[in-house]
Amino acid sequence: MKQLPIHESFFTWQGEGVHMGRSAFFIRTFGCPVKCPWCDSAGTWHPDYIPKDIERQSPIELAEMSVKHNPDCVVITGGEPAIHDLTSLTTALHERGLKVHLETSGAFPLQGDFDWVTVSPKWQKMPLEENLRRADEIKIIVESDNSIDRWNQAIHKFITTTHVWLHPEWSQRDDPSILRSITEWAKAHGSPFRPGYQLHKLYHADLLDSRSRSNVPLGGNQKLGF
């Protein structure tokens, strides 16, 4: 079976979205062509931050590691996991009775069988309509005061889910006008919009597993040369 380049895998809990707080084994694939200026996983793609020791691992090996922890779900994230064919991995996980969740920008066709799909659209590479329709939840990263309005105009026709999360971009998580724009939108529009947060970061939960690597947040810094 085809091996996948893996940036890291670790046991923690899902820090975001509908499944927030559920125990989760994370598999973070290596590689992302989207290149967001505030990416918080730049070690998966940015030339200045790529670790030297990226391993290729087989779907069976990854599934065996996952099942040892008896997690509520296995989250495949990245990077951009959908640049890889994940069919063998999702099969191997399902054969072990595990629920398989995907975190994706939605810009690439999905290959694999997923129990839950989170699409977080990015301006750098727009999501496919079919992925927006398929999404069980959508996560909008609010990076400026008009982010929500712009995304709503761009994608509202393709939204089928009742969970559209509004997350402050992490480097601006204390910015009052970003936070106010989220609160005001949620109050004015109601469902499907919901203010969200990356709760695992407040807990530093992922770092408690020594197999996790520290986040590399670009924080919108254009000088980092992505």
Stretch 69-108: interaction string toward ligand SF4, x if CB under 6 A: ---------xxx------------------------x---
**Residues 62 and 4 sit within 8 Å (Cβ to Cβ):** yes
Interface of this chain with ligand 2KA, residues 30 to 89, rule: CB under 6 A? 41, 77
CA distance 145 to 172: 11
Of 90, 153, 89, 145, which Cα lies nearest the Cα of 121? Answer: 153
Residue 106: is the preceding peptide bond cis (ω within 30°)?
no
Closest distance to ligand 2KA from the beta carbon of 221 (Å): 19
Q: Which stretch binds ligand 2KA (CB under 6 A): 13-21, 60-68, 90-98, 148-156?
A: 13-21
CA distance 84 to 102: 12
Closest distance to ligand SF4 from the beta carbon of 11 (Å): 21
Q: Can you give the C-alpha Rg of the chain in angstroms? A: 17
DSSP code string of 65-108: HHHTT--SEEEEESS-GGGS--HHHHHHHHHTT--EEEEE-S-S
Task: Give the residue with the Cβ less far from ligand 2KA, 43 or 59.
Answer: 43
Interface of this chain with ligand SF4, residues 14 to 43, rule: CB under 6 A? 32, 34-36, 39, 41
Any contact of residue 181 with ligand SF4 (CB under 6 A)? no
Task: Give the residue with the Cβ less far from ligand SF4, 92 or 206.
Answer: 206
**Residues 79 and 30 sit within 8 Å (Cβ to Cβ):** yes
User: Binding site for substrate, residues?
Assistant: 13-15, 28, 77
Contacting positions for ligand SF4 (CB under 6 A) = 32, 34-36, 39, 41, 44, 78-80, 105, 122
Binding site for ligand 2KA (CB under 6 A): 12-16, 26, 41, 77, 103, 200, 205-206
